């Protein structure tokens, strides 16, 4: 069962540096996947709701997802509603991606400095 668990229990020893780097690489891939799916969602939304070309949809989606703001003006109500939803969604996705990237580092930090229950240091 321990092979299925991503993180070790606090009573288990800290994993090796090589295994830790593999864990970090997996988290990077997961975060990139989350961003890529979100970017694709934005591209499709701008293309279908606002009628932008695929290249304009791509740049608008990237700019919103990156926190910069839209490039092209929005002209349809459906496009404006989508853009407002997508902007809120993108803010949450940013926080999720950062959390996924930081999770192995925070876990290792907490694991290394864990104080046993009942100790009075």
Q: What is the CATH number of the domain that holds 76?
A: 1.10.287
If one counts the domains in the chain, the total is: 1
Give the Cα separation of 38 and 88 in Å (integer).
12
Q: Are 101 and 31 in contact (CB under 8 A)?
A: yes
Q: Are 8 and 111 in contact (CB under 8 A)?
A: yes
| Overall pTM surpassing 0.85 (yes/no) | no
Structure tokens at 18: 């090589």
Name the packing angle between helices 17-45 and 54-65 (round to 10°).
130
Question: Does any domain span residue 99?
Answer: yes
Dist. CA 38–CA 61, nearest whole Å = 9
State the Rg of the chain over Cα: 20
Q: Is residue 82 part of a domain?
A: yes
Q: Is 68 helix (H, G, I), strand (E, B) or coil?
A: coil
Residue 5 lies in a domain: no
Torsion of CA 64, 67, 72, 74, to 10 degrees: 60
Asked, for residue 35, whether it belongs to a domain, the answer is no
pLDDT tens sequence for the chain (121 residues): 445 457 777 777 777 888 889 989 999 999 999 999 999 999 999 999 999 999 999 999 999 999 898 899 999 999 999 999 999 999 999 999 999 999 998 888 887 777 555 555 5
The verdict on residue 14 lying in a domain is no
Q: What is the pLDDT of residue 106?
A: 87
Range of the domain at 105: 40-112
């Amino acid at each position: 069962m321990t092979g299925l668990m991503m993180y070790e229990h606090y009573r288990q020893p800290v994993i090796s540096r090589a295994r830790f780097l593999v864990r970090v690489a997996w988290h990077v891939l997961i975060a990139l996947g989350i961003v890529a799916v979100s970017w694709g969602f934005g591209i499709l939304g701008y293309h279908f709701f606002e009628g932008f070309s695929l290249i304009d949809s791509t740049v608008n989606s990237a700019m919103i997802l990156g926190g910069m703001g839209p490039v092209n003006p929005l002209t349809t109500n459906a496009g404006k509603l989508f853009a407002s939803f997508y902007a809120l969604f993108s803010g949450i996705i940013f926080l999720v991606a950062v959390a996924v990237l930081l999770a192995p580092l925070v876990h290792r930090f907490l694991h290394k400095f864990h104080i046993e229950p009942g100790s009075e240091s």
